[in-house]
Structure 1
């Protein structure tokens, strides 16, 4: 089987396609500078996609922590209506531990506080990632504008 790349057969690793693509670019007047931009452009695109996925993950984690915080708050609100001397059972794995109302109340408050701190950390991380995406997109635009100017 003959091909446009000098009669060589396509190889499994895509080398043939790469050679044909490079030759076609050269025959169309692509300069070495433009060909050198392609890997950088691809790298920036990969960075943007990776960062966008991290932003989505941070959003999911923030939603989960908000649910945890709300659950702890609602549970605390319910147990505060009970008499102070009421003993309660806390579920730990497959067993239940008898504890006082005050101990459960303190645990729920701590759970809310920890969730709030983690939410703040994730929001800071998310804003950093969003800035990073914006900078990468701006770099891609600059590369495209430079390519058009050449």
Structure 2
């Protein structure tokens, strides 16, 4: 039983749009992952530099457009919390990336199957 051309064309168009959407979203997610990795690396480097400082060194933390004198311990604690948040965000982005890659691959496979069967 063959699928009518109109239905086949409509089905291919839907699958194609789903694949394009997944590909666009995948590009966005990849950019977000790269950004989060850079931010994580910056926090690691900052933490390493702070470890090299003597304990009584004055440290200024940016708050809006000004800087506030804080202790190195407070800054390290804040950065540790930020690093944990980034890890969680990266884990979520990795899951989203895997889902979008799977969706894109499945869409391509479905289009190939339809074209082989229909053609």
TM-score normalised over the length of structure 2 = 0.92
Aligned to 1:70: 41
Taking the aligned partners of 2:104 and 2:52, their CA distance within structure 1 comes to 48
User: Residue 14 of structure 2: which of 20, 33, 43 is its match?
Assistant: 43
Taking the aligned partners of 2:3 and 2:87, their CA distance within structure 1 comes to 53
Q: Mark the runs of 5 or more structure 2 residues left unpaired by the alignment.
A: none
More helix, by proportion: 2
Taking the aligned partners of 2:51 and 2:17, their CA distance within structure 1 comes to 51
The structural deviation recorded for 1:87 is 2.8
User: Residue 84 of structure 2: which of 95, 110, 113 is its match?
Assistant: 113
Taking the aligned partners of 2:83 and 2:7, their CA distance within structure 1 comes to 52
- Larger RCO (CA under 8 A, 6+ residues apart): 2
The 4+ residue runs of structure 1 with deviation greater than 3 A are none
Taking the aligned partners of 2:3 and 2:116, their CA distance within structure 1 comes to 17
**Matched residue pairs, number?**
118
Distance change >3 Å, CA 82–CA 127, structure 1 → 2: same
Taking the aligned partners of 1:102 and 1:87, their CA distance within structure 2 comes to 11
Taking the aligned partners of 1:49 and 1:32, their CA distance within structure 2 comes to 24
Taking the aligned partners of 1:41 and 1:94, their CA distance within structure 2 comes to 53
Alignment of 1:23-42 (within 5 A): 33-42=4-13
Between Structure 1 and Structure 2, whose CA radius of gyration is higher? 1
User: Residue 65 of structure 2: which of 94, 97, 108 is its match?
Assistant: 94
Q: 1:130 and 2:104 equivalent? A: no
Q: Mark the runs of 5 or more structure 1 residues left unpaired by the alignment.
A: 1-30
